[in-house]
Chain A
Amino acid sequence: MTEQAQQMIEHVIYVIRKPGIEIDETTPLVSSGLVDSMALVDLLLKLEELTKMRIPPGKVQPKDMDTVTLMFATAQRVGRPRK
């Protein structure tokens, strides 16, 4: 697991306020109800910070953020490097 993925997992745990919960890169977050759609703003901002990319939120749907792996794939797909 990359350091970025680890940091994102820690942020997810912080955002959902469930200390001690076990989450890995493939744990479904949105479809399982662990993360509600309002919390996705926080996750998207964190993803921008970790990837140093600008991610147009209009191109992101909840399913694109369902797992930590998908989040980074989404950043690669729609994100653009910050100048």
Chain B
Amino acid sequence: MIATEYRTLIDALNCAPASRPFVTAWLDEDTRETVTFGEFRRRARLHAALLRDHGVRAGDRVVVIMSQGIPTMTIFVGAMMLGAVPAILAYPNFKVEPAKYSFGLAGVTANLRARVVVIDQEFPEEMLGHVALGEGTTLVRAGDTTADGRDDELPDAGNQPESLAFIQHSAGTTGLQKGVALTHAAVLRQLRSLAEVLKIDGGNDRVYSWLPLYHDMGLIACFILPMVCHMPVVMQSPLDWVMHPETMLQILSEYKCTLAWLPNFAFQFVPRRTSPSRWPQYDLSSARALINCSEPVRAASMDEFYRAFASIGLKREALQSSYAMAENVFAVTQSDIHRPPERIWADGLRFRAEHFIAPVTEEAPGALSFVSSGRLLPNHEVRIISDTGALLPQGGVSEILIKSDCMFEGYYNRPDLTSKAIVDGWYHSGDLGFSLDGELYVVGRKKDLLIIGGENIYPQDIEEAVCSHPAIHDGRAVALGLYNPDLGTEEIIVVAEVEREELLETAVALEREIRSRVVASSGVAVRTILLKPPKWIVKSTAGKPARFATREKLLKEHPELNPGQEEKANR
């Protein structure tokens, strides 16, 4: 439980037991570093003094662009100790196209107008030109954490509960990410609710994370929540995890971690990219909540993970779900910690044609399965609103609107975007979903929805059916709607990567099989299926298929697919 007397996040950190381990940065089996809460505070104060010496004062923005690790965290907290407003931005890495990264970096740093931009010694010189250093901005290279600054008394920062604590950036793969400004009070209210529903005990729980600190799951659930709950966290970098996913099993086992947040794809990635012969050396019995969050929750992914690891102690009820977003600090819903998330089956035809959930049995023809993201956190409300603004009854599928006691203050420096997102106190999430028996189900993004002949088609449903074929690389299929002027509606095109290039020799037969699977599972006829070699689909920085960029690439290679696009654009 989180004490109610904390007024700020720094108050909460200051009350943590000095000798309790806080962050373990795990590099590999031989290299790891653990700092206690006491040592973390000491390093954060050193960084606060360093920032103060560079002119940082209360209210100033401090941008941190450093590789994942303890120094990034202590600089972030050091800035908050001064009453400044830190923001962690993505660090350039070999998986992100330099041109795309530099474009985003220039936009975000220009908008934040930071007093100080902190980079590490390894920050690539060629990227420096894209950090917007306005008048009055100082670039600081952080050196050895323990040697920086002086450990002297810091002036009272004057932090108030309603002061801005930090800025976290909303997920976004193209263009400018939006800076979500959050107060200490809003963050503390969110964390109290979350800690209550998860029954967190800082003395016994331990978080595992490979999530980036510039994303809300990594920042809030795996850094700020442990800091405020005085709970240890074992952290590795996303790149280390992607290259060596078995390390997740190793860390969960060795440190007996109890909590972790993972995007849906990770529940398939780990079982498929690790060797079953090595699983028996690990033990997942300590995990009490591995929470599927940030993408629509897929039953098949959860089941695959459970089937793989049940024999090494994974409990069914440990596979949990949540719906979260940066604008609400983090979680809106969380499944009941004592049991697996609710699942329902619904009539597929009514779902698409009427945008309505009519429960049916699993055996019913065309039945679709949905996994709940759980129940609302305390002091949260949602509404499902039709395109015309009408409040939909239970089971109606449309955009999710949210009201809570921990909503963001607005997009930093972007009142135009804020007024579009929050209308009459309700945040318009852009996500589609429905409520049923007190549970919230999220089905996809509004902007991704395909409307084919008046029917709503969720691309994720088609992509899941395509990826269920063993020849298709899991998670590497994109369903797109392309306008056909002859028909006056969109048609569905699927592009998917085969597991191995040789499989393309049997493309005709594969396409036939995949088409049958899509029809059988969703009742949807796909106009064209294009099979591509591995790594063809464009991925986002988060490792998910980037729909827009993939669409652009496809149309460039196959202009014949889209003769009517100009006509649609001109309508």
Contacts and interface: CB of A to CB of B under 8 A. Distances in A.
A41 B535 CA distance: 11
Nearest to A45: B243
Interface string A39-65: 111001100000000101111111111
A17 B122 contact: no
B237 A37 contact: no
Given A56-B27, A60-B94, A36 B240 contact: no
B533 A61 contact: no
B239 A38 contact: no
B68 A41 contact: no
Q: Is the interface of B mostly helix, strand, loop or mixed?
A: loop
A17 B67 CA distance: 32
Given A17-B533, A64-B94, A57 B124 contact: no
Contact of B122 (A38, A44, A57, A59): A59
B121 to A, nearest CB: 11
B94 A61 contact: yes
Contacts of A45: 243
Given A56-B27, A57-B93, A36 B239 contact: no
B474 to A, nearest CB: 16
Given A17-B533, A58-B68, A58-B237, A44 B94 contact: yes
Contacts of A80: 30-31
A17 B500 CA distance: 11
A72 to B, nearest CB: 16
Contacts of A41: 95, 242-243
A81 B475 CA distance: 33
Contacts of A63: 124, 126
Interface string B8-27: 00000000000000000001
B28 A54 contact: yes
Contacts of A54: 28
Given A45-B243, A58-B239, A59-B122, A17 B95 contact: no
A38 to B, nearest CB: 5
Interface residues of B, number: 27
A37 B96 contact: yes
B501 interface: yes
Most B C-beta atoms less than 10 A away, residue of A37, A41, A44, A63: A37
Contacts of B237: 56-58
Q: How many interface residues does chain A have, given as a range?
A: 20 to 34
Contact of A65 (B68, B94, B122): B94
Nearest to B538: A38
A37 B533 contact: no
B96 A56 contact: no
Contacts of A17: 501, 533
B29 interface: yes
Contacts of A36: 97, 535
A83 B96 contact: no
Most B C-beta atoms less than 10 A away, residue of A40, A56, A59: A56
A57 B238 CA distance: 9
Contact of A61 (B30, B124, B243, B501): B124
Q: Is the interface of A mostly helix, strand, loop or mixed?
A: helix
A63 B131 CA distance: 19
Nearest to A55: B243
A83 B533 CA distance: 36
Interface string B85-122: 00000011111111000000000000000000000001
Interface in B492-523: 501
Contacts of B31: 80
Nearest to B243: A57
Contacts of A56: 27, 237, 240
B539 interface: yes
A76 B149 CA distance: 32
Contacts of A57: 93-94, 237, 239-240, 242-243
Given A56-B27, A61-B124, A83-B29, A40 B240 contact: no
A32 to B, nearest CB: 14
A3 B207 CA distance: 44
A41 B27 CA distance: 17
A38 B94 CA distance: 8
Contacts of B68: 58
Interface string A12-53: 000001000000000000000000111111001100000000
Nearest to B122: A59
Nearest to A56: B27
Contacts of B533: 17
B98 A62 contact: yes
A45 B94 CA distance: 13
A44 to B, nearest CB: 7
A68 to B, nearest CB: 15
B67 A38 contact: no
Interface string B236-278: 0101101100000000000000000000000000000000000
A14 B313 CA distance: 39
Nearest to B241: A57
Interface in B120-167: 122, 124, 126
Interface in B187-206: none
Given A37-B97, A38-B95, 7 more contacts: A36-B535, A39-B535, A40-B94, A54-B28, A58-B240, A61-B94, A63-B124
29 contacts: A37-B94, A37-B95, A37-B97, A38-B95, A38-B539, A40-B95, A41-B95, A41-B242, A41-B243, A44-B243, A56-B27, A57-B93, A57-B94, A57-B239, A57-B242, A57-B243, A58-B67, A58-B68, A58-B93, A58-B237, A58-B239, A58-B240, A59-B67, A60-B94, A61-B93, A62-B94, A63-B126, A80-B31, A83-B29
Interface of A: 17, 36-41, 44-45, 54, 56-65, 80, 83
| Top 6 A-B residue pairs of the complex, sorted by shortest distance between their CB atoms | A57-B239, A58-B67, A40-B94, A61-B124, A58-B237, A60-B94
